[in-house]
Amino acid sequence: MHSLIQLSIVVLLLPLLSFVILIFFNRRLPRRGDFVGVGILGTAFALSAYIFWTVIVQTYDPAFRVAWDFTWIDLGQVPGIGPLQIKMGIVIDNLTAIMLAMVTLISLLVHLYSTGYMAGDKNYGRYFAFLGIFTFSMLGIVLSDNLFSIYIFWELVGLSSYLLIGFFFEKDSAADAQKKAFLANRVGDIGMWLGILILYSQFHTFSFTEIYANLAAGKFALSNAWLTAAGLLLFMGCVGKSAQFPLHIWLPDAMEGPTPVSALIHAATMVAAGVYFVARIFVVLTPDALHVIAFIGAVTAFMAATIAITQNDIKRVLAYSTVSQLGYMVLGLGVGAYSAALFHLVTHAFFKACLFLGSGAIIHAMHHEQDMRWMGGLRKHMPWTFATFTLATLALAGLPLTSGFMSKDAILAGAIGFATAEGGGVYYLIPVLGFFSAMLTAFYMGRQIWLVFFGESRTHLKPVDNHHSDHHAHSTHDTHNDDHHAAHEVHEVSWNMRAPLVILAALSVFFVYSPNPLDGAQGWFMKMIQTPPTVVGSYQSAPSSEKLAVGSQQSATEGENSALSTQHSALSEQHSALTNERQAEIAHASHAAHFPAIYISSIMVLLGISLAGIVYVFKIIDPDKTAQAIRPLYLFSLNKWYWDEIYDATFIKGSIVISKMLSWFDTNIIDGIVNGVALTVKNIAFANNSFDKYVVDGLVNFTAFSVNTTGAVLRKLQTGKVQTYVVMLLAVVFGYFVFYFTRLIY
Amino acid sequence: MEHLVPIGLNHYLTISAFLLGFGLFAVMTRKNAIVVLMGVELILNAANINFIAFSKYNGGMGGIMFSLFVIVIAAAEAAIALAIVINIFKIFKSVDVSSIDSMKE
């Protein structure tokens, strides 16, 4: 076993250890055991950082890959299926190494931050336990080398997300939100499982490498439409987990969870799992599937951005912004900008975690006020938060010199390249929506920064009994000792909440990723994460796919040690030689579109920011009057495109109607059948009973009666007098003679 | 004497039948147990007459031998029956057979 594999197993199991310790013993440990969680995550991060250092910095090989697996379940020969083995395994390549470091780092920072944010909560220890199980599940997804174990960890992530969203389960809204998140994820997961089964039915394996090798060898017996369907069904898992249209509805509601949880789960890791999964299965996606994915991503990015501009809740703006950015990533994967999408995944994870933790600091300082309309002027009181929040905002908006600029531009360049390569037309909708969303992003983030940090404090403007439609637990939050603070006094948060903000903000600057602030492709990330060549058969020439199949199968069948980087780089040379024309064409067009993308997006971002400035800083346009002027559009955005209402009217009402019909069917038809059967049985039993009572009993009684009667008659014969008997004897003898002689005579 | 019918088998059998009839009548109608026994003796003797008559007209000695046996058995039967009657009298203080019906039912 490769030493990195051993290390990664330790990294995987450490958060589980934290969960086990904290869930059972948190009340017996000092400080409810928060130091256990932070310490274990610190260790895990240190080991992940070592893996990252070894893989990315020392090896610096785009084709680096080590793998190890073992047979988990061996059912032998199953009739009708063949040999049934389920393997578990770990794969470490560049993407895994980066994700590993990212997840453990953000988890560590969130742990640290939570020691401040959640201090005094009555379920403080359990909170850290949940963070542990979540981190474990997420690392499991990142390390899995097969669809089966990824699905297991996928569901574990769903479960831990459920637990964390509903952490304040005394609140109805939190309990509702956790159910909504779980159900929306279920819808996606069903599709994902069906997709896994389509692939399994063809190849009888869950392993990524074996599936790719088999697919490249043309062993997919069904038509290409089935492969597209499999890809789209697998993508449904991403739609659920990464909150893509039309299953995005759960993510904004998931803001009911504690804010650090929002940072960890709903900004950086869990929602990124969907994008990560699509990247893992990228090579099996057919062009048709990729087109659908690209459009869903573009629609999600645009829709969420339009919703975000009217939200008043500080976390909801960020939530819709997250949905929008996830849309960018999915769009990026759809257009084939593989490394750009994953680049955006990582940069977004850091700056969005920073924004969420910053908003947590603001909420903490404002005594659980989340409505931006009643904030303002916090710049003076919270300089650290202000600085880091602003830096992360710039990265999110995509201003030059930030990480977000590079990754978003790479995606948009890819989108332009894709549209060009596909021949324009409706495909230009994708980059157009992308650029427009970039402008909206800049606008709503500018609005947020202004409303929160600038101007005068508007705390006093808040209506006293204001229970707005998007109100949030002002009253039920009993988790913090408010009496330590004077009512409206706002001050900076403590060091353990500040440090994560600073670290995350530092990771949002360009030089972490690339020496050239204008071009992410020159950085280590885009060099280490390269687009894998597709294995979808119809896009390859026959002889080359044979070569690939032989190479892949060799590497798949050989033992753990042989799956080392040297062989894989040899394999990847074959791969890169096979990189199909379409990908090359898109890559070429994207490269050509690099500078146009930079110009257009910079212009759009500046437009967005200046619009925010015009509206909120210089107040040239009054936002309220504008909202009145375009009231239908305003309401459309404020009510989140009415998705909740639409789902309420269709799926929820529909399922209620169906349940009512089923209930009617149950009470009338099923119960009718059951009752009918019961009635029939009862009637049969009654007839049976009558038969018993009158016929059988009658016969028995009649027998008894006749015997009795006969006896009563015959009893009279037995007089006890000898002479009577003699008479009878004579009578019989006489009778016999009469009988006998009569016979004799005639 | 030609008009007289010579005594033949039928005459014996007729006498025997009458004797049987009287015997049966006595057995069936008399109340006194002794008289009933006498009736039994009449029946036995009716049989004896039959045996003798058949023996005479048949030519064998079997009937005669049988009748001797019957006489012996009748003597034994009389002894036993009289003993029974004595015991009945001891128990019931009566030899009226119609009143002795404790075997009833």
CA angle A5, A10, A13 (to 5 degrees): 125
B101 contacts chain A (CB < 8 A): yes
State chain B's mean pLDDT as an integer: 88
Residue A728: closest C-alpha in chain B: B28
At residue A59, the pLDDT reads 82
| Better pLDDT: A127 or A648 | A127
| Better pLDDT: A122 or A358 | A358
Q: How far apart are CA A572 and CA A689, in angstroms?
A: 83
Min Cα distance B1 → chain A (Å) is 36
At residue B105, the pLDDT reads 60
A721 contacts chain B (CB < 8 A): yes
Record: contact B104-A719, CB cut-off 8 A: yes
Question: CB-CB: which of A720, A723, A726 is closest to B102?
Answer: A720
- How much is the average pLDDT of A440-467? 77
pLDDT, one tens digit per residue, over A353-385 is 999 999 988 888 887 778 877 887 787 888 888
Residue A719: closest C-alpha in chain B: B104
Question: CB-CB: which of A718, A720, A726 is closest to B27?
Answer: A726
Is B103 inside any structural domain? Answer: no
Is B3 inside any structural domain? Answer: no
Reduced to 3 states (helix: H, G, I; strand: E, B; else coil), residue A91 is strand
At residue A270, the pLDDT reads 86
Q: How far apart are CA B45 and CA A280, in angstroms?
A: 130
Is the confidence metric ipTM above 0.90 for this complex? no
Chain B residues with beta carbon closer than 8 angstroms to that of A712: none
Record: contact A720-B27, CB cut-off 8 A: no
A730 contacts chain B (CB < 8 A): yes
Q: What is the pTM of this model?
A: 0.72
The most confident of A464-468, A493-497, A565-569, by mean pLDDT? A493-497
- How much is the average pLDDT of A148-163? 90
Is B101 inside any structural domain? Answer: no
Asked whether residue A413 carries a pLDDT value surpassing 80, the answer given is yes
R_g (Cα) of chain B, nearest Å: 18
At residue A498, the pLDDT reads 85
- How much is the average pLDDT of A395-408? 85
Asked whether residue A549 carries a pLDDT value surpassing 50, the answer given is no
At residue B23, the pLDDT reads 92
Confidence of residue A680 (pLDDT cuts 50, 70, 90): very high
CB atoms within 10 A of CB B84: 12
Q: What is the DSSP string of A558-590?
A: S-TTTS-HHHHHHHHHHHHHH--HHHHHHHHHH
At residue A488, the pLDDT reads 54
Is B76 inside any structural domain? Answer: yes
At residue A581, the pLDDT reads 66
- How much is the average pLDDT of A197-215? 85
Question: CB-CB: which of A715, A721, A730 is closest to B98?
Answer: A721
Residues 658-717 of A with CB under 8 A from B: 715
Residue B40: closest C-alpha in chain A: A726
Is B24 inside any structural domain? Answer: yes
Asked whether residue B68 carries a pLDDT value surpassing 60, the answer given is yes
Enter the tokens of residue A292.
């659908």
Give the Å distances, CA to CA, from A349 to A169, A314, A504. Answer: 27, 18, 9
Residues 15-54 of B with CB under 8 A from A: 24, 27-29, 36
Range of the domain at B36: 9-92
Enter the tokens of residue B5.
């019918």
Asked whether residue A466 carries a pLDDT value surpassing 70, the answer given is no
Min Cα distance A718 → chain B (Å) is 6
Is B46 inside any structural domain? Answer: yes
- How much is the average pLDDT of A479-504? 67
- Cβ-contact A446, A612 below 8 angstroms: yes
In this structure, chain A runs to a length of 746
At residue B15, the pLDDT reads 93
Q: Is A100 exposed, middle or buried (0-12, 13-18, 19+ CB in 10 A)?
A: buried
The most confident of A199-208, A219-228, B73-82, by mean pLDDT? B73-82
Asked whether residue A264 carries a pLDDT value surpassing 80, the answer given is yes
What residues form DSSP beta bridges with A68? A90
Confidence of residue A552 (pLDDT cuts 50, 70, 90): very low
Record: contact B103-A727, CB cut-off 8 A: no
CA angle A75, A79, A84 (to 5 degrees): 30
Q: What is the DSSP letter of A402?
A: B
- How much is the average pLDDT of A61-68? 84
Chain B residues with beta carbon closer than 8 angstroms to that of A720: 100-105
Min Cα distance B100 → chain A (Å) is 7
Chain A residues with beta carbon closer than 8 angstroms to that of B97: 721-723
Chain A residues with beta carbon closer than 8 angstroms to that of B105: 715, 718, 720
At residue A46, the pLDDT reads 92
**How many interchain CB pairs under 8 A, A with B?**
32
A731 contacts chain B (CB < 8 A): no
Confidence of residue B18 (pLDDT cuts 50, 70, 90): very high
Asked whether residue A572 carries a pLDDT value surpassing 60, the answer given is no
A723 contacts chain B (CB < 8 A): yes
Q: How far apart are CA A732 and CA A740, in angstroms?
A: 12
Is B4 inside any structural domain? Answer: no
Confidence of residue B42 (pLDDT cuts 50, 70, 90): very high
State chain A's mean pLDDT as an integer: 81
| Tokens 């000792």 -> residue | A481
- How much is the average pLDDT of A514-525? 76
> Would the CA dihedral through A437, A441, A447, A452 be positive or negative?
positive
Q: Is A512 exposed, middle or buried (0-12, 13-18, 19+ CB in 10 A)?
A: middle
- How much is the average pLDDT of B72-79? 93
| Better pLDDT: A107 or A569 | A107
Q: How far apart are CA A562 and CA A154, in angstroms?
A: 29
Asked whether residue A625 carries a pLDDT value surpassing 80, the answer given is no
Give the Å distances, CA to CA, from B9 to A433, B16, B22, B47. Answer: 148, 11, 20, 14
At residue B3, the pLDDT reads 77
B2 contacts chain A (CB < 8 A): no
Q: How many domains does chain B have?
A: 1
Min Cα distance B36 → chain A (Å) is 9
At residue A571, the pLDDT reads 43
Record: contact A726-B103, CB cut-off 8 A: no
Chain B residues with beta carbon closer than 8 angstroms to that of A715: 105
- How much is the average pLDDT of A49-72? 85
A720 contacts chain B (CB < 8 A): yes
Q: Which of A713, A717, A719, A722 to mutate to test the interface with B (most CBs of B within 10 A)?
A: A722
Record: contact B97-A715, CB cut-off 8 A: no
Confidence of residue B1 (pLDDT cuts 50, 70, 90): low
Domain CATH code at residue B77: 1.10.287.3510
Is B53 inside any structural domain? Answer: yes
Min Cα distance A722 → chain B (Å) is 7
At residue A565, the pLDDT reads 39
Confidence of residue A47 (pLDDT cuts 50, 70, 90): very high
pLDDT, one tens digit per residue, over A700-713 is 999 999 999 999 99
Record: contact A719-B27, CB cut-off 8 A: no
Record: contact B104-A720, CB cut-off 8 A: yes
At residue A136, the pLDDT reads 92
Min Cα distance A745 → chain B (Å) is 20
Asked whether residue A100 carries a pLDDT value surpassing 80, the answer given is yes
- How much is the average pLDDT of A662-674? 88
